[in-house]
Amino acid sequence: MSNAPLMPKATAVWLVDSTSLTFSQIADFCHLHELEVKAIADGDAAQGIRGIDPVTMGQLSREEIERGEKDPAYRLKLQESKVRLPEVKKRKGPRYTPVSRRQDRPNAILWLVRNHPELKDSQIIRLVGTTKTTIEAIRERTHWNSANLTPMDPVTLGLCSQIDLDFEVARSAKDRPQVEEAESNQTLLPAETTTGAVPEPQEDTRDLRQQADDIDVNSVFAKLKQLKRDEDDED
């Protein structure tokens, strides 16, 4: 049996709102990162997720919560369920959605597209049992009821479980290419390269210029001497 509670994010939302437990205690019990619990408390994460009371679900006792509130170093222990659930066989193909819940699928798709853009269409289809055409219409705002759609958590709507959602999100994170790491390796040119002085001409270039100057000077003096000779001849 897993040591994590069912619907860990929803449980963390309830513990943040209803108890004085520390972020570290809640993160340890729900198997989440402490920063993620802090983001839930600040309203930056788990938006639209309704809190689940672990006491009513038989996963945590009131005495255990009070013990944790009195001692910040105490770690909550998951209460073992007395009900043995049969093992759920993995389902193949898209998820079947009851007729009463089908009208909520567009709202769930909109929530998934906004909060988890990394999910592929095939993953959204597995979660809420929709079609690729509907997903594209909601993404491009061409759905016939687009103006009236409201993003809603599919877990809260009962279209999928928190375990299935977390599994698909984790899978998409593994398949995502490490673009950030590649971009971080690119660096700017050093300042010496972009602001450095123009290099001095090479020695052979300076020699050629000096030779050209000498040739011009000699030709001028030669012309002057020739003019003086011509004047002496005329006299």
pLDDT in tens, the chain (235 residues): 457 788 889 999 999 999 999 999 999 999 899 999 999 988 888 777 888 899 888 888 899 999 999 999 999 988 876 555 555 555 555 555 555 556 788 999 999 999 999 999 999 999 988 889 999 999 999 988 888 999 999 888 888 888 989 999 888 877 665 544 444 445 555 555 555 555 555 555 555 556 555 555 566 667 667 766 666 665 5
Q: Pick the last residue of a domain from 143, 159, 175.
A: 175
Q: Flag whether 196 is in a domain.
A: no
Q: Pick the last residue of a domain from 159, 175, 191.
A: 175
Q: Flag whether 61 is in a domain.
A: yes
Write down the pLDDT at residue 182.
46
Write down the pLDDT at residue 93.
52
Distance CA 188, CA 165 (A): 40
Same-domain status, 115 and 53: no
> What are residue 101's phi and psi, to 5 degrees?
-105, -5
Distance CA 119, CA 188 (A): 33
Write down the pLDDT at residue 119.
92
Same-domain status, 59 and 126: no
The answer to pTM > 0.75 is no
Do residues 58 and 6 touch, judged by C-beta distance below 8 A? no
Write down the pLDDT at residue 235.
55
Write down the pLDDT at residue 104.
85
Q: Flag whether 158 is in a domain.
A: yes
Q: Tally the domains of the chain.
A: 2
Q: Flag whether 132 is in a domain.
A: yes
Q: Flag whether 78 is in a domain.
A: no
Same-domain status, 106 and 150: yes
Distance CA 138, CA 109 (A): 8
Q: Flag whether 149 is in a domain.
A: yes
Distance CA 48, CA 217 (A): 89
The residue range of the domain holding 20 is 8-70
Write down the pLDDT at residue 63.
92
Torsion of CA 101, 105, 107, 112, to 10 degrees: 130
The sign of the CA dihedral 145, 149, 154, 155 is negative
Do residues 92 and 73 touch, judged by C-beta distance below 8 A? no
Same-domain status, 64 and 104: no
Same-domain status, 107 and 166: yes
Do residues 38 and 30 touch, judged by C-beta distance below 8 A? no
Q: Flag whether 37 is in a domain.
A: yes
| Chain length of the chain | 235
Same-domain status, 17 and 62: yes
Q: Flag whether 109 is in a domain.
A: yes
Q: Pick the last residue of a domain from 154, 175, 196.
A: 175
Query: Cα 143 to chain center, whole Å?
Result: 27
H helix count then E strand count, the chain: 12, 0
